[in-house]
Structure 1
Amino acid sequence: MLAPPTAAAQGGSVLLEADVDGRPVGVGNLVLRPADTAKVSITVRNGTDTVQRVKTVRISGSALALTFFAYDTTVPFDVPPRSAETRSFPLDPSDLGSQATGLLPTTIEVIDVQRETIASVETTGDVKGSLWSVYGAFGLGVLVLTALSWAGALIALARRRLPANRWQRAMRFLPAGIGTGLVAVISLSVLRLVAPSPAAEIPFIAGAAAAAFALGYLTPHQEERRRSSVDADTVRFAR
């Protein structure tokens, strides 16, 4: 369970609590269905000595440092010092199906009149969207580019057209490795196995990139094979 984060302010902090359809945000996954209007309730606890003026509540989902959906609802209210205020409002995510699908890090935040975040709470959203959504299409695009990168590198290897320099050969394979890691991260998200996060993204992407880099670096070049063959023949004749 994720604890609600705080926003620093003078003399204390501001806490945000939220629930969707009666289920507290941060307890399990936040299920978002495009066909269902959700009832969102937020409570802002102002532990500071100043009035917190809330203007907007934003619900957004992101992955790989990209935002794939965001809903802003204008809910203006003030929270006096050392007190709490609760507001509820309906959320109509009817177009969510065309924006994302699968598990995505989701943030609910309250924003003031200067468009600055007062406080926020994070959770994992389970979006019941379409594979052909923006997020799904993004994953398919990465898959196609990764396949093309591997095809180009392997065809060059088969035709013996890779650079003679080992580092250049390694760099030829590196994009394919990075793409493989990205495909793994997005696939696990769409299949609702693991939500994208730095803890999940870095090992997959870095590991796949390192493996592809090593493959390119260790792949022998035609000239190296020729020299090895010549050296072997020289040793055999010397005997």
Structure 2
Amino acid sequence: MLLPSTASAQDGSVLLEADVDGRPVGVGTLVLDPAQTARVSITVRNNTNTVQRVKTVRISGTALALTFFTYDTTVPFDVPPKTSETRSFPLEPTDLGSQALGLLPVTVEVIDVQRDSIASVGTTGDIKGSLWSVYGAFGLGVLVLTGLSWAGALIALARRRLPANRWQRAMRFLPAGIGTGLVAVISLSVLRLVAPSPTAEIPFIVGAAAAAFILGYVTPHPGGQQPSEVDTVRIQR
């Protein structure tokens, strides 16, 4: 998938092609192993009428709108109008194992001298990291908080300490549902089944949140069965 830059439509666009160890970025899964040095090659196609001045090539991995790793390599070169330029460089992601693992969206982009993105290409990366990486620790933290949230809500239910209002009871269960959705998204990523993306994240998170909300809404009244107006007897003295 090639992503053009923000150059004006009348001047054309800038396209980026990249490959890692001879495998095109955007076709299949990009494997990044911290134990191996990767050879990165980029080609910038300048279809605009102005010179594009590339300063940095950035490779980054994100999930849930958070960036978990970024590698900036300074590769300064100019791309004249209506031409293309190719550059290659080694990438040594030695600390990648402590930053992420599993399937993550990865972006390769070229940055100009003003630190603005000229063009980018995205793909799914298979990160050969550790469970104790930043991403793994983030997932474990979400799991613990979700467990505590469920425990608090269920203990309050068992002890009849939930709010009397149905909507308030539903809101008490909502954070646990959101956490469950996040745990599902991260787990699928770590297990290399599904990479985090809006199309994958939203159904899991919204679905789990809705289920927890409904569960809280239908929980019984903490005071037990309440007498109805028909059962109420007024005793006059």
Which bracket does the TM-score occupy, shorter chain normalised? over 0.9
Q: What's the offset of the Cα at 1:5?
A: 1.0
Which residue matches 1:200?
200
Q: Output the amino acid matched with 1:109.
A: E
Q: What's the offset of the Cα at 1:220?
A: 1.3
Q: Output the amino acid matched with 2:6.
A: A
Which residue matches 1:216?
216
Which residue matches 1:237?
none
Identity among equivalent positions (%) equals 82
Structure 2, unaligned stretches of length 5 or more?
233-237
Instruction: For 1:150 and 1:103, locate their aligned partners in 2 and report how far apart those are by CA, in whole Å.
Output: 27
Which residue matches 1:28?
28
Asked if residue 6 in structure 1 is aligned to residue 4 in structure 2, the reply is yes
Is the Cα contact below 8 Å between 2:157 and 2:222 reproduced in 1? no
Which residue matches 2:235?
none
Q: Output the amino acid matched with 1:42.
A: I
SS at match of 1:35: coil
Q: Output the amino acid matched with 2:81.
A: P
Q: What's the offset of the Cα at 1:233?
A: 7.5
Q: Deviations over 1:96-135 (max 9, x none)?
A: 0000000000000000000000000000000000000000
SS at match of 1:202: helix
Q: What's the offset of the Cα at 1:83?
A: 0.1
Q: What's the offset of the Cα at 1:9?
A: 1.5
SS at match of 2:120: strand
Number of aligned residue pairs = 230
Q: What's the offset of the Cα at 1:225?
A: 1.8
Q: Deviations over 1:32-65 (max 9, x none)?
A: 0000000000000000000000000000000000
Is the Cα contact below 8 Å between 2:160 and 2:223 reproduced in 1? no
SS at match of 1:73: strand
Which residue matches 2:170?
170
Instruction: For 2:123 and 2:71, locate their aligned partners in 1 and report how far apart those are by CA, in whole Å.
Output: 16
Structure 1, unaligned stretches of length 5 or more?
235-239
Which residue matches 2:111?
111
Q: What's the offset of the Cα at 1:8?
A: 3.0
Instruction: For 1:79 and 1:22, locate their aligned partners in 2 and report how far apart those are by CA, in whole Å.
Output: 22
Q: What's the offset of the Cα at 1:232?
A: 9.8
Alignment TM-score, normalising by the size of structure 2: 0.94
Q: What's the offset of the Cα at 1:222?
A: 2.8
Alignment TM-score, normalising by the size of structure 1: 0.94
Structure that is richer in helix per residue: 1
Q: Output the amino acid matched with 2:5.
A: A
Q: CA RMSD in A?
A: 1.3
Which residue matches 2:144?
144
